[in-house]
Amino acid sequence: MRMHKSGFCLAMFAGIVHCAEPPKNLESTQRDRDSVALTVYSDDLALVRERRRVDLPSGLTHLALRDVTAHLRPETAMLRATGGASVSLIEQQFDYELLTPQRLLEKSVGHEVTVLRPNPATGEDRREKATVLATTEGTILRFSDRIEAGVPGRIAYESVPPGLYDRPTLSVLLDTTGGKQALELSYLTSGMSWRADYVASLAPDGRSLDLNGWVTLSNRTGVSFENAALQLVAGNLHRVRGQAPAAFERVAPAQMAAARAAPMEPAEEQLADYHLYRFERPTSIADNQTKLLALLAARQIPVRREYVLIGNDWMFRDRLRRISQKQRPSTFVFFDNKGADLGRPLPGGVVRVYARDSTGAAQFVGEDRMEHAAKNETVKLDLGEAFDILAERIQSEFRRIAKNVVESSWRIELRNAKDETVTVKVLEAMPDDWEIVKESAPHVQDEAHRAQWQVQVPAGGATTLEYVVRVTS
């Protein structure tokens, strides 16, 4: 049995002594990348998969994998050989103590440094050796003949102390037979996310719209990715919170078990209970960059417009102090997620709606957040209040029939200043047990505690809805 232990001599059979060589040090940067793939989730999470070509020496090797993200979750990192020499992964650790003047000074406690102080007369630097004693509450230096608190000049270091890096590094200890090797590294990281944004253009007659979807991809990982294969996952994943070490928190080295070794619009597929969008064309995204990618383009989608007046159940419990209340109905636009250009799962996002004025210029007319929409599902967008339609709600009578029974009479006058007839959906939320005892138009009970009327209002005219409701609490 062979054992590797750096700096030790091992006694073997027949009194023969063998000295194990210390591990060799090797560094791999993004220049060694053959390929990189990103699967990005909407909740500040991404899966990075990259393949690197590395010429490995035989025996124990400390391989420093540079250019990983600053928010890498070390407990999720996996490294495997995809061909070539035999490789065993023994140990890995994530080093993210980045090189700064303060950390360089702290790491030099107990070590000798050179203090440089300019000569006031000549301006030349005078060099003097000192040992760093402490840095906790200021710097304490011991010179050959004294101890000084504070830094009396500039400090020069002979080398960078072990464990400090100019950028985050994933270090692994490998046992290999040597030779060129393809290594596949994958890990989860925060700092990258995406969202969907949509732009809808209403036709002049308001009966259809054109819909363009965009993916807004943001990279705050500390690393740039060139020509990455990009996939996006839509849906809300369940994640365990508070278990994984946070980024930039000291983590002990993790012991690992040994492992031997286009079109612009994305294609969509189901992934378990989520949906995966795969872009055929590779994309590049730099650190601290936000990029927009085309998600879909759909033309002439039939739409339905609704004007909805919504009431509150508290109005029916007591006599109102204000007899008359004015309210404008909300404008909703509906379309069905089906047809040649749609008929696919749509990730949730903000839809901004535009309409063209008499000169043909596009004007912003409202926005709403669309939840994830499955295939054939109806999408409803709230565009705000209808300016040309006004409702005046009047409580004409209120009386208490019994201790727990009240009856109120209502008159809702709907006025339409538009040059076309409109239909207003009146939705009244009702409390407790309720009953419409009298009404000027028939209602529909579409929910247990809601009455609905469809009221047609002529162009430039008005229509009045009247009803009496009895409530038992």
Token pair for 292:
């927009």
Structure tokens, 378: 């109806």
- Is the pLDDT at 25 greater than 50, yes or no? yes
pLDDT at 236 over 80: no
Contact between 108 and 132 under an 8 Å Cβ cutoff? The reply is: yes
- Determine how many CB atoms are found less than 10 A away from the CB of residue 276: 18
CATH 2.30.110 fits domain 304-329+386-472:
no
Closest CA to 55 of 82, 32, 22: 32
From CA 248, how far away is CA 223, in angstroms rounded? 15
Q: How far apart, in Å, do the first and last CA atoms of the chain sit?
A: 84
Q: Distance (Å, rounded) from C-alpha 3 to C-alpha 7? A: 12
What is the reported pLDDT for 205?
86
| Mean pLDDT within 338-356 | 88
Confidence of residue 123 (pLDDT cuts 50, 70, 90): confident
Residue 380: pLDDT over 70: yes
State the residue for tokens 């078990």. 257
pLDDT, average across residues 396-402: 92
Give the tokens for residue 177.
């037979």
Report the alpha-carbon distance of residue 269 to residue 289 in Å, rounded.
Answer: 27
> Which residues share a beta bridge with 444?
452
Secondary structure element (H or E) that encloses residue 307, with its range:
strand 304-310
In the predicted structure, residue 431 carries a pLDDT above the cut 80? yes
- Which residue ranges does the chain devote to CATH 2.60.40? 304-329+386-472
pTM of the model: 0.67
What six digits make up the tokens of 234? 């839509």
* Average pLDDT for 5-22: 43
Instruction: Fill in the amino acid letter for 39.
Output: T
pLDDT mean across residues, the chain: 83
Per-residue pLDDT reduced to its tens digit, 157-168: 888 777 666 677
CA dist., res. 230 & res. 284, Å (int): 9
Calculate ∠ Cα 381-386-387, nearest 5°: 145
Report how far residue 336's alpha carbon sits from residue 303's, in angstroms, rounded to the nearest whole number: 8
Q: 183, exposed or middle or buried, with CB in 10 Å at 0-12, 13-18, 19+?
A: buried
Per-residue pLDDT at 31 exceeds 50: yes
Quick one: pLDDT band at residue 4, thresholds 50, 70, 90? Answer: very low
Give residue 14's pLDDT: 39
374 or 248: which carries more pLDDT confidence?
A: 374
pLDDT in tens, 157-211: 888 777 666 677 888 888 888 888 889 999 999 999 999 999 999 998 889 999 9
Least confident of 87-101, 166-180, 251-265: 251-265
pLDDT at position 80: 85
- In what helix (H) or strand (E) does residue 102 lie, and over which residues does it extend? helix 101-106
- DSSP, res 231: E
Cβ atoms < 10 Å from Cβ of 48: 24
Q: What are the residues facing 312 on neighbouring strands?
A: none
Average pLDDT over residues 53-66: 88
Tell me how far apart the alpha carbons of residues 277 and 203 are, in angstroms, rounded to a whole number. 29
| Least confident span in 60-64, 157-161, 273-277, 292-296 | 273-277
Nearest residue to 354 (alpha-carbon basis) of 214, 215, 204: 204
Residue 7 has pLDDT above 70, yes or no: no
Tell me the three state secondary structure of residue 30: helix
Q: What percent of the chain has pLDDT over 70?
A: 84
110-135 average pLDDT score: 88
